[in-house]
Amino acid sequence: MSTTETHTTTFSARLDLQWTASIRPGLLHAHPDDLPSLLGPRDWSSRRLPIIDEHVHAIYGEQIRALLARYGIDHPDPLVLPGGESAKTADTVERIHRYMETHGVPRFAEPLLVWGGGVAHDVAGYAAATYRRGVPYITFATTLVSAIDAMFALKVAINSQYKNRVGSYHPPATAYADPAFFSTLDRGQILDGTGEILKIAIALDGGLFPVLEQHGPRAVAEHFQGRDPATLAILHRSVSAMGEELSNNPFEHDPQRASYAGHGISPGMEPEVSHGVAVALDLLVTTMIAWRRGAVATPYRDRIVRLAHALGLPLWHPVLERPQVLFDALIDTARHRGGRQRIPAPVHEPGRVRYLDGIDLAELHRALNDLHHAASHDRARRTQWTSTTGE
Ligand SMILES: NC(=O)c1ccc[n+]([C@@H]2O[C@H](COP(=O)([O-])OP(=O)(O)OC[C@H]3O[C@@H](n4cnc5c(N)ncnc54)[C@H](O)[C@@H]3O)[C@@H](O)[C@H]2O)c1
């Protein structure tokens, strides 16, 4: 006798993930007596596989080796990898897999130690996610971008035809950043991280905004080398705000994310403008849209413009003279967000956003004109500018 009855079994599993990210000045001089679990739990194997960005290796390689020796770590020669976007490839992942295979990395207890910026985190994190379907890794962030945005990221990715198109969700076992590394970054790299910090102050942590207004310009000028409470607060608050945002929506099932602020039209500015600076320009354009729609009052709009300027971020760039290219980027962004623009834009006060939809080319054009106007006034050293609507 035959039957057409369907037998269905439902599978259900809870994924319980927890990891930490720390800003830790003096990391390279750490000692196991003070910070025993820096390189992973002491009851894990004493072997580790170090993976180091090539610039970091050239500048800090000896100190990293000395740190590993102080911790009694048994390790092969570090795998030294290039940084930069062009290194985020399947070939680099393959090199890391071969390194792990050569040294017989087991499934557990021998984490990779990854030293570098966001590229090192992404590429080594993706290699770790896919080797034996997931081995542990610890990220040591050496750029400002990585410290406040990448080092604790759950998502890791490499570029294929498009940026970050191939990836996985695999957080580091733990992540650390020592601002001392930022002393050897160039100013453009510091500004990239600063653009993301501005985003956090506008969209996630309103309390960070006045701290940035008061101390941000100095912290940026000093490459965040000060160990004063304000400089460290900017870094700590940024990481905490991102941590909370990520924990509430870890797998990004909700496409409405405040941390997407500054990421709507900015892809249309890259690579002519570096990522973090493009994010800042995007935030300024979005601010103008929100102001025209009446969601942002003129004083707050002006505070945002003044803060971006005070932090050393540009208020204008020639890429903004191509509204159609930026609008195409917005269309692509909307496609990625389930067909709606959902642009997080400032509203009322720092730390809160409203999601905008229905931005058309004409509205974008007007916002660009408004920003151009603000930037021109800024050049004339007058940041209190009068609106073209007579407000
Ligand atoms: N996974 C995520 O959620 C996430 C979040 C933010 C950014 N990212 C990714 O991070 C990447 C950008 O990160 P990045 O800006 O750190 O880039 P990066 O890692 O390429 O570093 C930039 C350059 O700085 C060099 N460098 C690194 N540390 C240095 C130091 N202390 N001194 C001198 N030079 C140093 C590197 O060799 C490289 O040439 C992008 O690919 C982006 O997609 C990922």
| pLDDT value at residue 94 | 98
DSSP 97-165: HHHHHHTT--SSS--EEEEESHHHHHHHHHHHHHGGG---EEEEE-SHHIIIIITT-SEEEE-SSSTT-
Nearest CA to ligand 1 atom 9: 118
Annotation marks residue 199 as catalytic: no
Mutate to test the pocket of ligand 1, among 19, 53, 88 (most ligand atoms within 8 A of CB): 53
pLDDT by 10s per residue, the chain, length 391: 567 899 999 999 988 899 999 999 999 999 999 999 999 998 999 999 999 999 999 999 999 999 999 999 999 999 999 999 999 999 999 999 999 999 999 999 999 999 999 999 999 999 999 999 999 999 999 999 999 999 999 999 999 988 888 999 999 999 999 999 999 999 999 999 999 999 999 999 999 999 999 999 999 999 999 999 999 999 999 999 999 999 999 998 888 899 999 999 999 999 899 999 999 999 999 999 999 999 999 999 999 999 999 999 999 999 999 999 999 999 999 988 888 999 999 999 999 999 999 999 999 999 999 999 999 876 655 444 333 333 3
Q: What local confidence, expressed as pLDDT, does residue 380 receive?
A: 56
Active-site annotation holder among 88, 155, 163, 199:
155
pLDDT given for residue 376 in this prediction: 87
Question: If residue 352 lies in a helix (H) or strand (E), which one and from where to where?
Answer: strand 349-356
The Cα 390–Cα 387 span in angstroms is 5
168 CA distance to ligand 1 centroid (A)?
18
Q: Where are the domains of the chain?
A: 20-184, 187-246+257-379
Q: Which residue has the tokens 């354009």?
A: 285
C-alpha 80/C-alpha 52 separation (Å) is: 5
According to CATH, what is the number of the domain 187-246+257-379?
A: 1.20.1090.10
User: Cis peptide leading into 344, omega within 30 of 0?
Assistant: no
Two tokens, residue 95: 């090199």
> Degrees (nearest 5) of the Cα angle 139, 281, 223?
45
Atom index in ligand 1 nearest the CA of residue 181 equals 31
Measure 142 CA to ligand 1 centroid, in angstroms.
8
63 Cα: distance to centroid of ligand 1 (angstroms): 20
Architecture of domain 20-184: 3-Layer(aba) Sandwich (3.40)
Distance CA 68, CA 73 (A): 5
**What's the confidence (pLDDT) of residue 87?**
97
Is the CB of residue 143 less than 8 Å from the CB of residue 117? yes
Query: CB within 6 Å of ligand 1 — which residues?
Result: 53-56, 59, 83-85, 88, 116-120, 122, 142-143, 145-146, 149-150, 153, 155-156, 164, 181, 184-185, 189, 192
Query: Are domains 20-184 and 187-246+257-379 of this chain identical in fold?
Result: no
> What is the C-alpha to C-alpha distance for residues 213 and 216, in angstroms, rounded to an integer?
6
Instruction: Single out the residue of 200, 323, 211 nearest to residue 261, CA to CA.
Output: 200
| Cα of 131 from ligand 1 centre, angstroms | 22
Which residue minimizes the CA distance to atom 42 of ligand 1? Answer: 118
pTM: 0.94
b/e per residue, 169-206, with b = 16+ CB within 10 A?
bbbbbbbbbbbbbbeebeeebbbbbbbbbbbbbbbbbe
What pLDDT score was predicted for residue 163?
A: 85
